[in-house]
Amino acid sequence: MFNALVVRKDEDSGKTSAAVEEIGLDDLPEAEVTVAVEYSTVNYKDGLCIGPGGGLVRKYPHVPGIDFAGTVEASSDDRYKPGDKVVLTGWRVGEAHWGGYAQKARVKGDWLVPLPGGLDTRAAMAVGTAGFTAMLAVMALEDHGLEKHHGPVLVTGAAGGVGSVATAILANLGYEVAAVTGRPETEAYLRGLGATQIVPREEINETTKRPLESESWAGCVDAVGGAMLARVLGQMKYGCSVAAVGLAGGAALPATVVPFLLRGVNLLGIDSVMQPYDNRVRAWQRIASDLPMDKLEAMIQPAVLADLPKLGADILKGQVKGRVVVDVN
């Protein structure tokens, strides 16, 4: 028997509730690789899946946790053997399939990535889906021509998970980082991660009637979407790119096509869930080499399984700073 955060749904009221329970190996779904989970984390999607489901959870009872890192315990997949350290993000684990909020998880071998040298399982979950996605965004900007001498790179939702890791990686690579935040009290934290400019959210959150403003940013990692993304598009330098990662501020995009047509601005979509294996391996290797571990340590808020119902509600309200690392043991 082992511990898991189990979400149950009351058929009569339709309400869900989450609590730590003891479950057994036979309760886990069928798949090739059983992993002794060491750490997981808390993402926006986890907030939805711990709570009312947000349309992501297919059936109950459910074990959430969209990412985890641990050690292979049993495997019928030739690529993995007991003792291997692995990390998992995406593939709808923790949504359609039971996830990482348990001391053991059973998943497809295709969904795993070997933990790269230089990262332990705790650091991997301090990075988590948010940090992995931040790295994909930075790689996409670089693949589209971003160079250090082009000017400042904007990071929106900077004090959140994606934003914090993007800020630390970009600053460590030598880029000048401008961090957008709605929480002025996070300024010292963001400067500690390497941001040299703090942009208050309200300065950039409102729609403007002008499709083009002065050219300010050489790149952007955008975790917010909505009106902020629309505004940022009109502030990009000629030929530069925005990596669209998230929708913390809304899914609508009240923009014009003018920045694309007159300034050759690129809008790059970033998806971490179905990302092909080779690019996953490349991103995790870049994380191991480009993310300073002391900065990563400064982002960590430790937690245990019993903390998850509250943390799930907090992240839905935008009240989590940096990266929550859940020690499931």
Could you list the residues that contact ligand NDP (CB under 6 A)? 43-44, 129-130, 133, 157-163, 181-183, 186, 201, 223-224, 228, 245-249, 270-273, 315, 318, 320
Q: CB nearer to ligand NDP: give 28 or 267.
A: 267
User: Nearest distance from residue 49's CB to ligand NDP, in Å?
Assistant: 12
Q: CB nearer to ligand NDP: give 72 or 130.
A: 130
User: Nearest distance from residue 177's CB to ligand NDP, in Å?
Assistant: 13
Q: CB nearer to ligand NDP: give 23 or 140.
A: 140
User: Nearest distance from residue 57's CB to ligand NDP, in Å?
Assistant: 16
The tokens of 16 are what? 């869900």
Q: CB nearer to ligand NDP: give 36 or 300.
A: 300
Q: CB nearer to ligand NDP: give 7 or 162.
A: 162
Among candidate residues 101, 106, 21, 123, the one with its CA nearest the CA of residue 312: 101
User: Nearest distance from residue 159's CB to ligand NDP, in Å?
Assistant: 3
User: Nearest distance from residue 66's CB to ligand NDP, in Å?
Assistant: 9
Burial of 149 from C-beta contacts in 10 A (0-12 / 13-18 / 19+)? exposed
User: Nearest distance from residue 22's CB to ligand NDP, in Å?
Assistant: 29
User: Nearest distance from residue 164's CB to ligand NDP, in Å?
Assistant: 8
Phi then psi dihedrals of residue 64, to 5 deg: -75, -170
Residue number closest to ligand NDP, CB atom:
160
Q: CB nearer to ligand NDP: give 137 or 240.
A: 137
**Cβ atoms 56, 239 nearer than 8 A:** no
Among candidate residues 59, 86, 61, the one with its CA nearest the CA of residue 71: 86
Q: CB nearer to ligand NDP: give 23 or 49.
A: 49
What is the C-alpha to C-alpha distance for residues 38 and 219, in angstroms, rounded to an integer?
A: 36
Among candidate residues 188, 151, 186, 185, the one with its CA nearest the CA of residue 170: 151
Q: CB nearer to ligand NDP: give 70 or 163.
A: 163
User: Nearest distance from residue 275's CB to ligand NDP, in Å?
Assistant: 8
Strand, helix or coil for residue 116: coil
Give the Cα-Cα-Cα angle 186, 245, 272 (nearest 5 degrees): 115
- Identity of the amino acid at 160: G
Among candidate residues 3, 36, 39, 7, the one with its CA nearest the CA of residue 21: 3
What is the C-alpha to C-alpha distance for residues 264 and 266, in angstroms, rounded to an integer?
A: 6
What is the C-alpha to C-alpha distance for residues 109 and 80, in angstroms, rounded to an integer?
A: 7
What is the C-alpha to C-alpha distance for residues 250 and 225, in angstroms, rounded to an integer?
A: 6
